[in-house]
Amino acid sequence: MSMAKRDTYTPESLLAVAVEVFNERGYDGTSMEHLSKAAGISKSSIYHHVRGKEELLRRAISRALDGLFAVVEEAGAREGRAIDRLEYVARRTAELLMSELPYVTLLLRVRGNTGTERWAMERRREFDQRVAALLKQAAADGDLREDVDARLATRLLFGMVNSIAEWYRPESGGEAERERVAEAVVRIAFRGLRTD
């Protein structure tokens, strides 16, 4: 029976279950026992796929990070004026957060208690620096309002993007809904709520 159940799991589907449990109980509060129960397979079946829960954490966080770094490599993030590239990155990051919600949520909650978590925070800082460089360039181009500090603006812009994870539910819509939300972020943050 255990064999049959194990066969239904791939590294990918086991990861999806683990991420749900990590987000619900917190990584520290999750044991292999919890993962085994949630997946409906034995602990030894899990060990057949991964060395332990930290490997599942690393794989899940890698998926979110790979997505973020792919965004800054896209043409829209590399070509054109810095302010437009920044807007592109904000939009695509918002879309990624929604399409990869559990993985990005896990990344956002990382606090640095394990080696994997510290590595994740380091990679997040690298991403933040890429974005901060775009803001700096946009300011140098005269395209960024001068009365808001660039570092503070970065935090508030991505604070708005990341806050989507607090309420967005994937079942509320597909790609069109994700685009609608990301477009609202761009309109508010880059052009403001007020009519001219």
Rounded least distance, CB 4 to its own copies, Å: 36
Q: Please select the residue that binds its own copies; options are 147, 169, 171, 176, rule is CB under 8 A.
A: 147
Rounded least distance, CB 97 to its own copies, Å: 12
Rounded least distance, CB 176 to its own copies, Å: 14
Q: Which is nearer to its own copies, 4 or 195 (by Cβ)? A: 195
Cα 116 to Cα 60: distance, rounded to the nearest angstrom: 11
113-142: contacts with its own copies (CB under 8 A): 142
C-beta separation of 86 from 139 below 8 A: no
Cα 186 to Cα 196: distance, rounded to the nearest angstrom: 16
Residue 26's Cβ-count burial label (10 Å; 0-12, 13-18, 19+) is exposed
Verify binding: residue 164, its own copies, rule CB under 8 A: yes
Number of residues that bind its own copies (CB under 8 A): 36
Cα 85 to Cα 168: distance, rounded to the nearest angstrom: 25
Q: CB within 8 A of 72, min separation 6: which ones? A: 78, 89, 127, 130, 131
Verify binding: residue 148, its own copies, rule CB under 8 A: yes
184: number of Cβ within 10 Å: 13
Verify binding: residue 35, its own copies, rule CB under 8 A: no
Q: Which is nearer to its own copies, 12 or 28 (by Cβ)? A: 28
By the criterion CB under 8 A, which residues form the site for its own copies?
Answer: 26, 83, 142-149, 152-153, 155-160, 162-164, 166-167, 180-181, 184-185, 187-195
